[in-house]
């Protein structure tokens, strides 16, 4: 073997070790068939959820997929620190078990991975990590970081996260990714081997430089293809997670609501496009896809039902010198209007009903153009619904035009604050 003028023996040995490691990994994977992959299927959302035909197999402890997940979970757990708070654990496990039972009994076609059904025994744990993240290992070992629990605002949002992770296991995404990685290595390994042989056989010139470029190009190809499949897995988990929630008691809008928050966090952290290094669909792309699916499924997108911070509140005010008691409605902390008792309905009860009406109106894009005075000038209405009545005007003892103007100004403030906090 001739001595290379431009590549050190140390670098050659490094290439050789990497080549052997890749070949060994490929051989180990190829020698262990993990599951019989079924063709991916795509169906319109309204036809996607179908009852599974029994019996659905319960994997044995030595099932290759379960063993792969369990072995990795054992190693992971040796390094991780866990949250043991009973209330938090009960919440995660209760919601996770509700959804996993549905995943184990409902066939949902997979756009990535496999729709082959197995009744996994799902395990849910909370990792004491401030990073906003959740992840799942093959066979149903689901981990939720404490940082994620700190920002979910309802059980519906948490259910959206868990449904997404359960979908990764139910559709065997990791196994599909491993298979695709093996295929990629079948392509790049021969090219890397040829580059290595060319380097060894080279006699000066640019042979080593060209071989290095080939090596780098194959690595970038491998990254691009692997991450492309990762993006497809995430899209399928988003879609499948939404369909799982439809079959549950949890509001699927919770997944959409949480995606909006994730997209906002993503924009704060990522100031450039990741290109081939992107492992997930862009946050805004996921939000758009979720919103489109909800519309296809005719599910009303009422964010205040899954995010308590968007719900209007009612505060009872001290009686005026004349003895009038007002209930004040606030949305996003902004005073919207005041109402009094009417007929047999106390001010507080009336305000609570009106607060829910405002929530629905804000959720569906209430604007100042929607708010009008009735023809007889005895009521303020929005989309045919009464907001304020003559009793309120009389008690406030102010011009009706002024009351209407302040209400519209409050609506503008609420809309602006909502848009700012949701960032979309």
**Which tens digits make up the pLDDT trace of 375-403?**
999 999 999 999 999 999 999 999 999 99
| Closest-CA residue to 204 (of 6, 8, 15) | 6
- Which residues, including other chains, have CB under 8 Å from residue 421's CB and lie 6 or more apart? 309, 332
Highest mean pLDDT among 179-183, 260-264, 322-326: 322-326
pLDDT given at position 128: 97
Highest mean pLDDT among 22-36, 198-212, 230-244, 289-303: 289-303
Q: What percent of the chain has pLDDT over 70?
A: 72
Q: Calculate mean pLDDT across residues 104-123.
A: 92
pLDDT given at position 56: 81
Compare 23 and 47 and report the one with higher pLDDT: 47
* CA gap 253, 298 in Å, rounded: 12
Q: Find out whether the peptide bond into 104 is cis, omega within 30 degrees of 0.
A: no
Please report, for residues 64, 87, 314, the alpha-carbon distance to residue 340 in angstroms, rounded to integers and kept in the order given. 67, 40, 12
pLDDT given at position 121: 95
pLDDT band for 97, please (50, 70, 90 cuts).
very high
pLDDT band for 39, please (50, 70, 90 cuts).
very low
pLDDT given at position 209: 46
pLDDT given at position 218: 43
Q: Calculate mean pLDDT across residues 350-376.
A: 96
Chain centroid to Cα 77, Å, comes to 24
Is-contact 357 302, C-beta < 8 A? no
Helices then strands, each counted (H, E), the chain = 13, 11
pLDDT given at position 179: 80
Q: Calculate mean pLDDT across residues 68-79.
A: 93
Would the pLDDT of 187 be above 70? no
pTM confidence score: 0.75
* CA gap 237, 247 in Å, rounded: 15
Each as own residue / partner, the long-range contacts of residues 288-296 (CB below 8 Å, 24 or more positions apart, any chain) are: 289/235, 289/238, 289/239, 290/238, 290/242, 290/255, 290/256, 290/259, 291/256, 293/45, 293/239, 293/242, 294/242, 294/252, 294/253, 294/256, 296/44, 296/45, 296/46
Would the pLDDT of 11 be above 50? no
The region of weakest confidence among 207-221, 228-242, 260-274 is 207-221
């Amino acid at each position: 073997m001739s001595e290379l003028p431009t590549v050190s023996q140390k670098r050659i040995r490094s290439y050789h070790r990497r080549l052997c490691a890749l070949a060994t990994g490929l051989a180990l994977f190829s020698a262990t068939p993990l599951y019989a992959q079924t063709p991916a299927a795509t169906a319109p959302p309204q036809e996607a959820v179908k009852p599974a035909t029994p019996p659905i197999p319960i994997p044995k402890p030595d099932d290759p997929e379960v063993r792969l997940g369990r072995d990795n979970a054992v190693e992971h757990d040796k390094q991780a620190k866990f949250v043991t708070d009973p209330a938090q654990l009960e919440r995660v496990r209760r919601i996770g078990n509700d959804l996993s039972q549905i995943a184990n009994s409902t066939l949902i076609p997979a756009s990535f991975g496999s729709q082959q059904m197995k009744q996994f025994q799902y395990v849910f744990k909370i990792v004491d990590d401030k990073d906003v993240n959740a992840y799942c290992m093959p066979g149903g070992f689901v981990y939720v970081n404490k940082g994620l629990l700190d920002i979910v605002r309802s059980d519906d949002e948490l259910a959206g996260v868990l449904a997404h992770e359960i979908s990764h296991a139910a559709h065997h995404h990791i196994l599909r990714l491993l298979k695709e990685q093996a295929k990629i290595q079948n392509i790049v390994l021969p090219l890397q081997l040829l580059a290595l042989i060319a380097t060894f056989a080279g006699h000066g010139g640019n042979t080593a430089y060209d071989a290095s470029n080939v090596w780098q190009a194959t690595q970038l190809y491998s990254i691009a293809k692997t991450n492309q499949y990762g993006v497809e897995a995430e899209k399928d988990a988003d879609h499948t997670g939404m369909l799982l929630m439809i079959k549950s008691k949890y509001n699927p809008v919770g997944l959409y609501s949480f995606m909006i928050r994730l997209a906002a966090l993503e924009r704060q952290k990522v100031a450039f496009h990741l290109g081939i290094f992107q492992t997930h669909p862009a946050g805004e792309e996921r939000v758009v896809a979720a919103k489109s699916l909800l519309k296809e499924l005719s599910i009303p997108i009422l964010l205040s039902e899954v995010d308590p911070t968007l719900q209007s509140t009612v505060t009872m005010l001290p009686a005026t010198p004349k003895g009038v008691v007002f209930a004040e409605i606030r949305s996003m902390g902004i005073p919207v209007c005041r109402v009094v008792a009417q007929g047999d309905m106390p001010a507080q009860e009336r305000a609570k009903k009106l607060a829910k009406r405002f929530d629905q109106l804000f959720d569906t894009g209430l604007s100042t153009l929607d708010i009008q005075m009735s023809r007889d000038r005895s009521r303020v209405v929005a989309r045919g619904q009464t907001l304020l009545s003559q009793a309120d005007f009389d008690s406030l003892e102010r011009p009706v035009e002024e009351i209407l103007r302040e209400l519209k100004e409050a609506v503008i403030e609420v809309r602006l604050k909502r848009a700012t906090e949701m960032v979309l």
